[in-house]
Structure 1
């Protein structure tokens, strides 16, 4: 019943091409229900079918504009994170075994040994051993000693 922010139309209208009539409208005699006339309804239905295609195109355009606006907002607010070889980082712990709720979710520090591609890194521990797994930037955090 509520118009969608991105399309400007209700989902019911986009599916059925008409406004929904609620049971409460029927029970309380809403003006729209009282003004219903079968003869005019048939003509109005044909007009609505003609306008439905235009409404769908309008909804698609509004939705695309809304998505572009969200994308621009997201790009403005997001900060890219990059790590370089030699940076000290912490990685998210993989196992919660023997941990309690006050345990740190991070372990390390580790050193970035290799940049596989932007966002994927190979790590090296304190002993200089390179870890076999690659790590995504979402699982890493820069460490400041």
Structure 2
């Protein structure tokens, strides 16, 4: 319990990589003085002119909104960069109406055959594309499957018909 204030202080004064600023400076418009600097004289605390310091704090408060906007822009840029990285790893696939696909046995939970059971069931035919990777399927007998299937649980079936 005694460490919680120190941990919170460290969290509030640590620079966040997403926006390049500390939560403390975005709240109060100035850098925080760490408790160790208060107890012992450092150049930062010893050479303080209180009149100039108060003027500088006032100016910092006036510019605070602009600083927050710049941090929001940097954070949005960081999120865009992460999203671009994530999407570069995602395999983009889509199916057309009439395509034959298999669906994962794990996703349907129909059979619990252990580790030697088939991993994929099918083939099924795509009857409807609902958007965002959701599809309606029907089996080879023409019976509609009762739910939608996500593209993560489907894979293309290549049937060679003679």
TM value normalised by structure 2: 0.66
User: Cα gap change, 1:74/1:90 in structure 2, threshold over 3 Å: closer, same or farther?
Assistant: same
Q: Which moved more, 1:121-130 or 1:79-88?
A: 121-130
Aligned residues: 144
From the two aligned structures, give the one with the greater helix fraction: 2
Aligned partners of 2:18 and 2:78 also within 8 Å: yes
Segments of 5+ residues of structure 1 without an aligned counterpart are none
Question: 1:28: Cα distance to partner?
Answer: 3.9
Question: 1:111: Cα distance to partner?
Answer: 1.0
Taking the aligned partners of 1:105 and 1:31, their CA distance within structure 2 comes to 71
Question: 1:89: Cα distance to partner?
Answer: 1.3
Taking the aligned partners of 2:48 and 2:118, their CA distance within structure 1 comes to 64
Aligned partners of 1:89 and 1:111 also within 8 Å: yes
Question: 1:79: Cα distance to partner?
Answer: 3.0
Q: Corresponding residue for 1:88?
A: 101
Segments of 5+ residues of structure 2 without an aligned counterpart are 1-12
User: Cα gap change, 1:2/1:62 in structure 2, threshold over 3 Å: closer, same or farther?
Assistant: same
Q: Secondary structure at the match of 2:99?
A: coil
- One of 118, 125, 128 as aligned partner of 1:115: 128
TM value normalised by structure 1: 0.72
Residues 3-22 of structure 1: pairs in structure 2 closer than 5 A: 3-22=15-34
Q: Corresponding residue for 2:43?
A: 31
Aligned partners of 1:83 and 1:112 also within 8 Å: no
Aligned partners of 1:120 and 1:134 also within 8 Å: yes
Taking the aligned partners of 2:150 and 2:55, their CA distance within structure 1 comes to 60
- One of 137, 143, 150 as aligned partner of 1:129: 143
1:45 correspondence with 2:54: no
Question: 1:99: Cα distance to partner?
Answer: 6.7
